[in-house]
Amino acid sequence: MNMRFELADAKTVGITGHVRPDGDCVGSVMGLYNYIKKNMPNIEVDVYLEQPGKEFYYIKNLDKIKPIADETKEYDVFIVLDCSDIERIKPFAQCFLNAKKTICIDHHASNSNNAFANNNLVMPNSSSSCEVLYGTLEEDEIDKDIAECIYTGIIHDTGVFKYSCTSDITMAIAGKLMAKGIDYSDIIDNSFYKKTYIQNQILGRALLESILFYDKKCIYSAIYKKDMEFYGVDGKQLGGIIEQLRLTEGVEVAIFLYETGMNEFKVSMRSKKYINVSSIAVHFGGGGHVRAAGITMQGTVHDIINNIGAQLELQFSAIDK
Ligand code: 5GP
Ligand code: MN
């Protein structure tokens, strides 16, 4: 796919990404927005997204994000990034449905049998949607601001170049982006590793209360609404907890849950080497990647861990055979 070709006849373009946008979602959505703004000034472009976390403050034009859809608008092209399921662009789904042409740029394996746009570029072997997006852009039209966005997505979805989704292509692209003059150290520190004092406290608490199960091959921890209220944090500030759980010695699967409503939890799952957490998430109506997936589930923590545990057991016992 070539973005210039796709937008050749477009006068109006809308862009969005998934609910609870992470670094790859913010990076790809804003990377494309800034690319169109800079290189195709005749196109009227709107960007729709849930408010990104404070750690993405350095991304250019973040203040141009519209949090509420203009449902009367009929875009010539509407582009969805980093999203495997139309359900996950819900607040802006009407813009998608109204559009004359729709495009999806993504890298979720769970998107493959679910292609929901007119034109789908889904590359499950790519580290990030930012990596997929990069391949659709002209290298010489990428400036420092656009490079910062794309680099952000790549470091977030690769855990700073260490998850198995990182390839030599990922590294080559990162190198090209570095050559645009970005402050890569600052981007990594400020958007990925930096935690507030409160975030560290709640991380400590989640670790303290974590529980090993299935012969210490799995670990989970949950944060309840009352705790989030006590610390004054929302879901956006709980990033990094799952990552620390995953690093526990001997653990193959980490699960982190936080309460989003009455008997409702946002569940994150990560695996290290062989368990496919995406298929478990898909089984319960969520999605993601083989080593990182998520889902919203109903029930108590006990119910949810029991239900996921049964699926994990199926995979573990198939491997043990
Ligand atoms: P996280 O655990 O960081 O929220 O998400 C891990 C991966 O799973 C990301 O690629 C994210 O897009 C995907 N994911 C998380 N929650 C959901 C969900 O409820 N539905 C789907 N389809 N994917 C999800
Ligand atoms: Mn992604």
Q: Which CATH architecture has domain 3-193?
A: Alpha-Beta Complex (3.90)
Closest CA to ligand 1's atom 3: 268
Residues in the chain: 321
The ligand that comes nearest to the alpha carbon of residue 152 is 2
Please state the pTM of the whole predicted model.
0.93
pLDDT tens digits, 122-160? 999 999 999 999 999 999 999 999 999 999 999 999 999
Q: Rounded to the nearest whole angstrom, what is the distance from the C-alpha of residue 296 to the centroid of ligand 1?
A: 9
Return the best residue to mutate from 85, 108, 156, 256 for the ligand 1 pocket (most ligand atoms within 8 A of CB). Answer: 108
For position 321, what pLDDT does the model report? 64
CB atoms within 10 A of CB 71: 11
| 77 φ/ψ angles, rounded to the nearest 5 degrees | -135, 135
> How many distinct helices (H) and strands (E) make up the chain?
12, 11
Spatial separation of the C-alpha atoms in residues 198 and 158, rounded to whole Å:
25
Residue 229: which residues within 8 A CB-CB, separation 6 or more? Answer: none
Residue 63: which residues within 8 A CB-CB, separation 6 or more? Answer: none
For the chain, give every domain's residue range. Answer: 3-193, 197-320
Instruction: Note down pLDDT in tens along the chain; length 321 residues.
Output: 999 999 999 999 999 999 999 999 999 999 999 999 999 999 999 999 999 999 999 999 999 999 999 999 999 999 999 998 889 999 999 999 999 999 999 999 876 667 899 999 999 999 999 999 999 999 999 999 999 999 999 999 999 999 999 999 999 999 999 999 999 999 999 999 999 999 999 999 999 999 999 999 999 999 999 999 999 999 999 999 999 999 999 999 999 999 999 999 999 999 999 999 999 999 999 999 999 999 999 999 999 999 999 999 999 999 876
CA 273 to chain centre: 20
In 77-178, alpha helices (H) = 93-98, 129-134, 144-158, 168-178
Could you tell me the fold of the domain covering 197-320?
Diaminopimelate Epimerase; Chain A, domain 1 (3.10.310)
Spatial separation of the C-alpha atoms in residues 54 and 137, rounded to whole Å:
27
Query: Which one, of 300, 299, 270, 295, lies nearest residue 284 by Cα?
Result: 295
The ligand that comes nearest to the alpha carbon of residue 156 is 2
Q: Rounded to the nearest whole angstrom, what is the distance from the C-alpha of residue 65 to the centroid of ligand 1?
A: 22
Show the ligand 1 pocket: residues with CB < 6 angstroms. Answer: 18, 22, 84-85, 88, 108, 110, 268, 286-289, 292-296
Output the DSSP codes for 175-195. Answer: HHHHTTT--HHHHIIIIII--
Return the best residue to mutate from 156, 289, 290, 304 for the ligand 1 pocket (most ligand atoms within 8 A of CB). Answer: 289
The ligand that comes nearest to the alpha carbon of residue 288 is 1
Contact 312, 218 (CB under 8 A): yes
Output the DSSP codes for 260-274. Answer: EETTEEEEEEEESSS
Q: Rounded to the nearest whole angstrom, what is the distance from the C-alpha of residue 266 to the centroid of ligand 1?
A: 9
